[in-house]
Amino acid sequence: RSAMGSIGTPNGNGNGIGHGSAAVARRQHAEGPAAMLGIGTANPTGVEVPQNIFAENLFRVTKSDHLTELQQKLTRICEKTGIDKRHFHLTEETLAAHPELYDHDAPSLDNRLAITVDAVPKLAQCAAAKAIAEWGRPASEITHLIFSTYSAWGAPSADLRLATLLGLRPTVNRTILSLHGCYGGGRALGLARELAENNRGARVLVACAEITLVCIGS
């Protein structure tokens, strides 16, 4: 808001925007601070792995049992994380059908992206639908969509796919944050706040979805 105030103030050289434009800008601002109107979460439905056997399971399905020292290290890490279970999109059947996913000598990026390009927006759809239901208004009233992911790249982009899955208006303002990693969710919320507080009547949907397929390997 302070930035908008400085923009709306003449600079003394006759080159400022002027008080009239400043008043218009103030009318475009929301009347109060941004607030969360609904929250939803979702997990991949492929397979659920208890944390106490995660390391053993990972090394087995990626045919890396011979890396005993590394497996022991991961086991120790898992014991201290406080996580009870993990959810994965990949199943053992999928890994068996795609050995290139855990073979460092085999090209696999195209195959990984072919899986995530559909799976990531669908995972985001599950969580977003819950948030919209908690909000209690139709999805068509959403004015802005922010989608953060490092797991899905391509064209059409994941934000457009998600907007289509949710039935958002074709005119919805879309922003995608790609390759931000763990930082993406925080930045997405910050951007949503800026949009909500500077656009009267804005309803901003934030979606963050990741599938570890992009980085899984032996």
Q: Which residues are tagged catalytic?
A: 182
Going by C-alpha positions, the residue among 141, 149, 80, 96 that lies closest to residue 119 is 149
Distance CA 207, CA 199 (A): 19
Measuring CA to CA, how many Å separate 44 from each of 82, 98, 110, 159? 20, 19, 21, 18
- Counting Cα atoms < 13 Å in the Cβ hemisphere of 187 gives 13
Distance from chain centroid for Cα 216: 18
Report DSSP state, residue 205: E
